[in-house]
Amino acid sequence: MPKQKLSTLIKQLNEENAPPEGWTLEDSIQETVPHVDVKEANRPEAGKTYALTGGPGSRCIANGFSWKDSEVQQEELQPKLGSRCS
């Protein structure tokens, strides 16, 4: 078997195995690498804070959100006025 780019193989597999009604976004194989920049590759960035776990529906890695979507903003880290910290 000759060498083949991963993106070419993914496209070929998607075409050969597509259901009669076609692929939905959830069904198809999505190419995630390689990317030119770190943000596009969905990787954490040094110096930023991310929510790894959280309650149902919260924007965190454990709930399937991307690193970018799970980033905790500085305002969220600061206690709100009038809130109690133990």
- Domain membership of residue 71 (yes or no) is yes
Per-residue model confidence as pLDDT tens digits over 9-61 = 888 887 888 888 877 767 655 555 455 554 456 788 889 999 999 888 899 98
Amino acid 53: pLDDT? 92
Same domain, 22 and 53: no
- Domain membership of residue 4 (yes or no) is yes
Instruction: Look up the domain containing 25 and give its range.
Output: 1-31
Same domain, 25 and 49: no
DSSP class of residue 55? S
Q: In 3-state terms, the chain is what percent helix, strand and coil (to 5)? A: 20, 0, 75
Residue range 55-84: average pLDDT?
81
Same domain, 53 and 21: no
Q: What is the pTM of this model?
A: 0.44
- Domain membership of residue 21 (yes or no) is yes
Q: In the chain, how many domains are there?
A: 2
Q: Token pair for residue 48?
A: 């930023």
Same domain, 26 and 54: no
- Domain membership of residue 39 (yes or no) is no
